[in-house]
Structures are given as C-alpha cells and as structure tokens.
Chain A
Amino acid sequence: MSERGIQWFRFTAPANFYDLAGRLIPWFAALTIALFAVGLYLGLVVAPSDYQQGDSYRIIYIHVPTAWMGMFLYVLMAAYAAIGLIWRIKMADVMAKAIAPTGALFTFLALWTGALWGRPTWGVYWVWDARLTSMLILLFLYLGYMALHAAIDDRQRASNASAVLAMVGVVNVPIIYFSVQWWNTLHQGASITVTEAPTMATIMFVTLLIMVLAAWMYSVAVVLARARVELLERERNARWVQERLEGGTK
C-alpha cells in the first residue's frame, strides 16, 4: 500500500474510504479541539469589547463561522450529490447524505446566534433581514433534502431523487437570496444595517479566521465519521465489514 502518491479512485471503493477516513478523523478531531481552544480564548478573553456593541459582538465569532459553514456545506452537498447522480458513484451519495445533518445544524446555529445577537443590537430577536430570511429558507432546503432521502426506501432511487432536489436547491439559493434582499430593501429602507466597524481590528479578524477553521475541521471530522457509519449500514453484509470486525477494530 503506497501512502505517497494518492490514487483518488481508491477512495471510491468503500473499504478504502472506510480505512482512510478512520485514520484521518483523529487528526481532524485534534485540530478541531486545538483551534476551538485557541479561538475561544482569543474571542472571549483576549479580544477587546466593541466600543459600540460592548461584549455582545462576541457572538460574531460563532455566528459568522456557522453561517458560512451552513451555506458552504449546502453547496458541497449538492456537488457531491451531482457527482453521485452523473457518474453513478455511490460514495458521493454517502458523502452528500452525511453532510446534510451537519449543514442543517450549522444553519440552525447561525439563525439561533443571529437572533441572540439581534436582540441587543436591533432590539428584537428576529428581523426579516435578507440574510436571516435566506438562512431560514436554506434550513428548509436542508430539511427537505433529508426528508426526501429518508422517505424513499429504494437506496439508488433515494440518492438520485434527492440529488436532483439538492441541485435544484443550489440553483435557487442565489435567486432566493437576491429576491429576499430586494424585498427587504423595498420594505425597510436603510433602517436596519448591521453596524460593522469599517476596519476590523486585527485580533478580531484573526480570531474569526481561527473560529472559521475550527468549524471547518469539526465539519470534516463529523462528516467523515457519519459517512463511515452510513457506509457500514449500507454494506453491513459485505465481506470487508466482517473482516474488519473480526480483527477487533473500531
């Protein structure tokens, strides 16, 4: 087995993917813990409070990463789903399905933290701001994808049908975003704009970057772990599963 010179096609074989993911997960988990530790320390203790928003602005350190991950994971999920649909690669569907719950979770957290940030900043928990509204619709898209995948019993059909849905969704996300933004500007004028300091202090920027990376590493670790479980579930009767269990592995 050659460790150097990655042969990408090998990942599409379930057993290889299972082993490789198993080896990678601890590294990503360690990175996640380290980055979160540093990021939380910087964000909650070191970074000075904002002169306008006081300490409430510290929510930005989790609001922005969760929002980015929520959006990015949807695109990634749709990309995997499309690969699975077009090239009939089963592993791609496993990845797409494994991404969905984590993406939905991050989207929910972005909404939650957005609401809790909105209360001290705007005086209300929820405003029909373009970003919040689009995120809400994104959450519905995630739920629809998961519901459709779960509703179809035949595995191949489930993966293909939900892939079509994911691709339709990904085309729609920008349309939804721009139409909501347009609607929003028509209805509210400039009454609500997030006060963003024109030049973000370096420490804030670095902290934000670290937190984004932490969320990334967390997503990779959890998605790989879920993909492994998903794979075991699908291939429970395959020989490679039996072999690995007899070896007493994890």
Chain B
Amino acid sequence: MFHPLLALLRRDLTLALRRPQDALTVVGFFVVVVALFPLGIGPDPEFLRSLAPGVLWVAALLAVMLSLERLFSDDFRDGTLEQLLLVPEPMGLLVLTKIVAHWLITGLPLVLVSPLLAIQLNLRPDEIAILMLALLIGTPILSLIGAIGAALTLGLRGGGVLIALLILPLYAPPLILGAGAVDAVMHGSSAQAHLSLLGAMMVFALFATPWATAAAVRIMLD
C-alpha cells in the first residue's frame, strides 16, 4: 500500500467516501433524468422499452459529464495537483489513477443502479445483463475521454458548460456502441460486435487518453 499510485488511489477514494454526497448527486441525477423521460413521452410500455437503451445511455453520459468538473478542480484549488507534478511517477499514470478513482466513485454506481431503472422501462433480464455489461465497458471510456475536457478547463470561468461543449461530441462513438448493444439484443441479434468494438475502444482510450490528459494538466498548470 505504499506504492505511490496505490496511495493516490486510496487517498482519492477516502476523500470521496468522506463526502459521499458528491457521488450520490451523480447517481441521483441519473435516476431523476431517466424518471423524467416517461413523463415527457408517455407511459406506453412498448414505446418506453424501445427507447430505453438510448435514454439510459444518454442519461449516464450526462451524469458522468456532470461529475467531470470535480475530477481535478479540488486538487487544483488546494495545490495538490501541482505537487503531483513533482512526483517521480509518470504524470500519465498518476492521471490514470485519478481517473480510475473517479470511475469507481461515479461510473460504477451508475452501472449498479441501472438495472432498477431498466426494469422501470420494461427491459427484460437478458437485455438488462447486456446493458450492465455495456455500461461496465462504456463508462470507463466516458471517464477517460472526459478527463481531457476536465483538464483543459481547469480554473476557467464557466468550465462546466465548456466541458459539455468540448466532450459531448467525442461521446458519440461510445453512445452509439453502448446503446446499440442493448438494441441488438432487443431485436433478437447478438450484441457481440458492439461489445467487442466498445472493448477495443476502451483499450485504446486506456492507453491514449491519460497522456493527452497529462499534457493538458501540465499546460494548464504552467
């Protein structure tokens, strides 16, 4: 537990557990957005079912985006981030550690509550399983890409709105693949192609985005 990366991970998780309302807000947002959809489009179960994959994914996307601003901002304000630059570990790995912590705090809870919402939207058990699997692979991508936006808007006025503009267009591929996976099962075909591509995307994001994020952090702290 003395490895610097593990120490950082533990620190971030401890901080989050001491202030659980941050993570709960994100989950609450996710639940409320999904709950509002039927009110807007009517209670017809079949119709809701056909919209469910898209609704759940878009809501998850927005919830993750909402949480991004806090990924670096607290550490930026109290100077921790500048200290991290001095750590001998590569900045990319440190950033990745923070992203992992962020995903454990926000992404994972979304995956865990998604079945409840899926039941409300009349998804069947096999579809729910695929939904959870897709979210499990997909939400890390959202955190990884989002971290670039969070780093680029460090310390800016109105950073939250800017993150949305910068990051949401880049969320199109995981949205398409993630919602598509559930959709495929719904229409009786296999979700394997979607999930494989989503997995490939996650691996790519895992290797590529932390370096971009690290570069962005350096630039903004410069």
Complex interface: chain B residues within 8 A of A143 (CB): 165
> Quick check: A157 and B165 within 8 Å, CB to CB?
no
> Quick check: B172 and A137 within 8 Å, CB to CB?
yes
> What CA separation (Å) do A148 and B184 show in the bound complex?
37
How many chain A residues touch the partner (CB < 8 A)? 27
| A182-B176, A183-B176 as given contacts; A148 in contact with B170, CB under 8 Å | no
> What CA separation (Å) do A171 and B170 show in the bound complex?
10
| A161-B219, A161-B220 as given contacts; A137 in contact with B165, CB under 8 Å | no
Complex interface: chain B residues within 8 A of A169 (CB): 170
Mark each residue of chain B from 136 to 166: 1 if its CB lies under 8 Å from any CB of chain A, else 0.
0000000000001000110011100010011
Interface residues of A in 180-197 (CB under 8 A from B): 180, 182-183, 186
> Quick check: B173 and A175 within 8 Å, CB to CB?
yes
Complex interface: chain B residues within 8 A of A156 (CB): 222
| A151-B156, A179-B176 as given contacts; A140 in contact with B219, CB under 8 Å | no
Complex interface: chain B residues within 8 A of A60 (CB): none
Answer yes or no: A46 CB below 8 A from chain B CBs.
Answer: no
Say how far B45's CB is from chain A's closest CB, in angstroms: 22
Complex interface: chain B residues within 8 A of A157 (CB): 219-220, 222
Answer yes or no: B208 CB below 8 A from chain A CBs.
Answer: yes
> Quick check: A140 and B152 within 8 Å, CB to CB?
no
Complex interface: chain A residues within 8 A of B197 (CB): 179
Q: Classify the secondary structure of A's interface with B.
A: helix
> What CA separation (Å) do A161 and B219 show in the bound complex?
6
Complex interface: chain A residues within 8 A of B165 (CB): 140, 143-144, 147
> Quick check: A144 and B169 within 8 Å, CB to CB?
yes
> What CA separation (Å) do A146 and B17 show in the bound complex?
38
In-complex Cβ contact of A137 among B169, B184, B201, B212 (8 A): B169
Answer yes or no: B104 CB below 8 A from chain A CBs.
Answer: no
Complex interface: chain B residues within 8 A of A121 (CB): none
In-complex Cβ contact of A168 among B156, B177, B180, B212 (8 A): B212
> Quick check: A168 and B219 within 8 Å, CB to CB?
no
Answer yes or no: B216 CB below 8 A from chain A CBs.
Answer: yes
Answer yes or no: A95 CB below 8 A from chain B CBs.
Answer: no
Answer yes or no: A116 CB below 8 A from chain B CBs.
Answer: no
Complex interface: chain A residues within 8 A of B33 (CB): none
In-complex Cβ contact of B162 among A137, A148, A164 (8 A): A148
Answer yes or no: A172 CB below 8 A from chain B CBs.
Answer: yes
> Quick check: A141 and B173 within 8 Å, CB to CB?
no
Say how far B162's CB is from chain A's closest CB, in angstroms: 6
Mark each residue of chain B from 161 to 196: 1 if its CB lies under 8 Å from any CB of chain A, else 0.
010011011101100110010001000000000000
Complex interface: chain A residues within 8 A of B152 (CB): 148, 161, 164-165
Say how far A129's CB is from chain B's closest CB, in angstroms: 14
Mark each residue of chain A from 73 to 87: 1 if its CB lies under 8 Å from any CB of chain B, else 0.
000000000000000
Answer yes or no: B133 CB below 8 A from chain A CBs.
Answer: no
Say how far A108's CB is from chain B's closest CB, in angstroms: 15
The 5 A-B residue pairs with the shortest CB-CB distance, nearest first, are A140-B169, A179-B173, A160-B219, A144-B166, A183-B176
Q: What are 29 A-to-B residue pairs whose CB atoms are below 8 Å?
A: A137-B169, A137-B172, A140-B169, A141-B169, A144-B165, A144-B166, A144-B169, A148-B152, A151-B156, A151-B157, A151-B158, A151-B162, A152-B156, A157-B219, A160-B219, A161-B152, A161-B219, A161-B220, A165-B148, A165-B166, A167-B212, A168-B148, A168-B212, A176-B172, A176-B173, A179-B176, A179-B197, A183-B180, A186-B180
Known: A148-B166, A164-B152, A175-B173. 7 other contacts (CB 8 A): A147-B165, A148-B152, A152-B156, A164-B219, A167-B212, A171-B208, A180-B172
